[in-house]
Amino acid sequence: MHLYLDTADIDQIRKGVKLGVVSGVTTNPSLVYKAGWTDYKSAVQEICSIVKGPVSVEVVSQEAKGMMEEARAIAKWSEHVVIKIPMCDAGLEAMSVLSKENIRVNVTLCFSLNQALLGALAGASYVSPFVGRLDDVGHDGMGLVAEIVSCFDRYGFGTQVIAASIRHPLHCIAAAKAGAHIATIPYGVLTQMVNHPLTTVGIARFLEDSQKAAGKG
């Protein structure tokens, strides 16, 4: 399973890439604004120059024609760009056309196996079930991830499953067990995955013992 960062914060992306475990980014206009950017294109190109892997960038148009126009323009910003398109009638129409133009699409706001199946049939490269949001309304978000992975495997779809709306490290464990190809996570969850109190204690004890062995304790 690969890990992406769900952010537009350049410092966080640099840190994640430096750790050697982040291979992509998912972002949208809200995250770009939150990170202090005022130019969407500049933000995306800066992210692409750092991560050098798939960077999902969301369109804002609500009509199929507008989505396609936006997608074609954004796809020229970098070879790493993937276009995030919401699951809806207009989105399906747009992704069906764009996939035939070899523009990679990530189906966003996916909340059911039906929606994921439609995205795969439309030629999407990725589908992103929103785990945390499903959990919030009493549904089994990670159960949906497992269903989608099983369905895609059964029928040989090449579409990859991105576990999105990840809230905590246990979600990452569950995503891996469910067979998700990718989990896209906030930077805070990444740091939680790295740290463990027993590791911290173990390092402290090791340093203390090494100082004693060197006659410094």
Q: Which is nearest to 160 in space by CA: 116, 96, 197, 202?
A: 116
The structure's pTM equals: 0.93
Residue 217 has what pLDDT?
56
The residues carrying an active-site annotation are 84
The pLDDT assigned to 203 comes to 84
CA pair distance 115, 95, nearest whole angstrom = 13
Yes or no: say if 26 and 4 are a contact pair by the CB < 8 Å rule: yes
Whether 152 contacts 107, CB under 8 Å: no
Which DSSP symbol is given to 39? -
Domain encompassing residue 132: 2-213
CA distance linking residue 37 with residue 88, whole number of Å: 28
Query: What CATH number did the domain enclosing 148 receive?
Result: 3.20.20.70
Per-residue pLDDT of the chain (217 residues; tens, 9 = 90+): 999 999 999 999 999 999 999 999 999 999 999 999 999 999 999 999 999 999 999 999 999 999 999 999 999 999 999 999 999 999 999 999 999 999 999 999 999 999 999 999 999 999 999 999 999 999 999 999 999 999 999 999 999 999 999 999 999 999 999 999 999 999 999 999 999 989 888 888 888 878 777 776 5
Angle at 179 between CA 92 and CA 142, to 5 degrees: 70
Structure tokens at 58: 């969301």
Task: Collect all residues with Cβ–Cβ distance below 8 Å to 172 and sequence separation of at least 6.
Answer: 3, 163, 166, 183, 185, 189, 193
pLDDT of amino acid 216: 66
| Whole-angstrom distance, CA of residue 114 vs CA of residue 118 | 6
The residues that bridge with 162 in the sheet, in sequence order, are: 182
Judge whether 27 and 56 are in contact, CB under 8 Å: yes
Over 7-36, what HEC string results? CCCHHHHHHHHHHCCEEEEECCHHHHHHCC
What is the CA 155 to chain-centroid distance, rounded?
Answer: 24
Total of domains in the chain: 1
